[in-house]
Structure 1
Amino acid sequence: MSRCRRHAWRSLLLMALLATLSACTLLPEGSPASIHLLPAAEQPRADGPTLPTTLRIETPHAPTLLTGTRILVMPEPHRLQAYEGARWSDRTPLLLRDRFIEGFRQRGRLAATLDDNSPLAADVALVTDLRVFHSEYIAGEPVAVIRLDASLVDERDRRLLATRRFEAQAASTGTAVTRVVEAFGRAGDSLTAELIDWTHDTLGNR
């Protein structure tokens, strides 16, 4: 083989090697995050007449720290961090909004329940401000804590009908993130049930 041909072969081999290395750098680095849904138990259907009210459930307002998909934990007072390699399936305010909507629809007793993307008109809006959505250690064990302020607003004249603060806690059965996620589900179920009862009572007494 001539010197020129050997040089050409070496050049081709070098180019192929560089192309292979470049392709490798396109692969994602690190292990993918585990994605967690917010567990939810079905709300029992309520007895009694259906109220002729259409409710719009607004996406909860939240501080920046609570608007993402990170699963937050407070291992000690006044210090928050995220569980490594774990994420919620959607942004936290959307998880709660969808949980509330599904709970109201399961319970019944309202003419309709809408989200804030619906073009349909509503009689009353449920407006919430999410204050806390993290697990914290109480007596050495993780506890899921959800706290929000809720308001019912007349959609016709934007008049405030009622307001209340809600808080729900659920102890985790372990420190693994899957156990903590289950605790968030139980806290979410409790909060949803209280919110539904309060809304129905308020609207039923109008």
Structure 2
Amino acid sequence: MRSPSLLPRRARALAAALGAAALLSACSVLPKAAPLDVYVLPVAAGAPASAAKTLPWSLRVVRPAAGVHLAGQRIVVMPEGNRVSVYQGAGWSDPAPALVRDRLLEAFRADGRVGALSSDERQLHADFELDSDLRAFQSEYRDGRPEAVLRLDARLVHTASRRIVASRTFEQRHASADPAVPAVVQAFGIAADRLSAELVDWTVREAAAVR
């Protein structure tokens, strides 16, 4: 004859097993996350390096600060008014602020006038620091057509004194040839190239005025 004390334990074990099986069954039918198409920020064929002599000062380019909706890897779109959304199934290869910082570094290297460059990832000593706030990095619809919008509030800082020696807002817009995501991404690349070129010239000019 079975011991009465064993029955509750066996019942509890059976119930636990059935519960676990039901949980696994439920998990197996949960929808999987949709895969993302990942895009790098395109770069146009670089302009030839400046023939000017390499400047005798160093520069650290800092990753821009950004609000929550611009700090991630999703490609932001504003289809109407102030409504913020993202392109479904698409994302950037890195968070938008990192893309902007890296594009600026690429522009300085291609220009060639500032030879001693670093980023905030290494925290090396530099004579100047380029700090900024990323205010826009999104696609906006104008007259039913998307355009890439980039806006950056830049500050050139003298690192020894921690003094802001110059500040300026840079903005570039470029209409996309097509509403499809690959064409919008190309528009982002063109706008980023133009903004970077403007910012490189401004930085060199303002730093020279200080030194």
| d(CA) in 1 for partners of 2:183, 2:138 | 13
Residues 43 and 103 of structure 1 are in contact (CA less than 8 Å); yes or no, is this contact kept in structure 2? no
Equivalent position of 2:209 in the other structure: 205
The CA deviation at 1:101 is 0.7
Residues 109 and 115 of structure 2 are in contact (CA less than 8 Å); yes or no, is this contact kept in structure 1? no
Deviating more after overlay: 38-47 vs 66-75: 38-47
| d(CA) in 2 for partners of 1:111, 1:28 | 51
Q: What TM-score does the superposition give when structure 2 sets the normalisation length?
A: 0.83
Equivalent position of 2:15 in the other structure: none
Aligned residue among 160, 170, 194 for 1:166 = 170
The CA deviation at 1:48 is 1.1
- RMSD (CA atoms): 2.1
Deviating more after overlay: 46-55 vs 144-153: 46-55
Q: Which residue identity does 2:78 align to in structure 1?
A: M
Aligned: 1:38 with 2:29: no
Aligned residue among 97, 101, 106 for 2:101 = 97
Q: Kindly, what percent of the aligned residue pairs are identical? A: 48
| d(CA) in 2 for partners of 1:180, 1:135 | 7
Aligned: 1:75 with 2:72: no
Aligned: 1:128 with 2:135: no
Residues 1:51 and 1:77: Cα distance change in structure 2 (over 3 Å): same
Equivalent position of 2:151 in the other structure: 147
The runs of at least 4 consecutive aligned structure 1 residues that moved more than 4 Å come to none
| d(CA) in 2 for partners of 1:37, 1:43 | 20
| d(CA) in 1 for partners of 2:30, 2:117 | 44
Ranges in structure 1 where 5+ consecutive residues have no aligned partner: 1-17
Q: Which residue identity does 1:47 align to in structure 2?
A: A
Equivalent position of 1:51 in the other structure: 55
Q: Which residue identity does 2:114 align to in structure 1?
A: L
Residues 1:26 and 1:105: Cα distance change in structure 2 (over 3 Å): farther
Residues 69 and 76 of structure 2 are in contact (CA less than 8 Å); yes or no, is this contact kept in structure 1? no
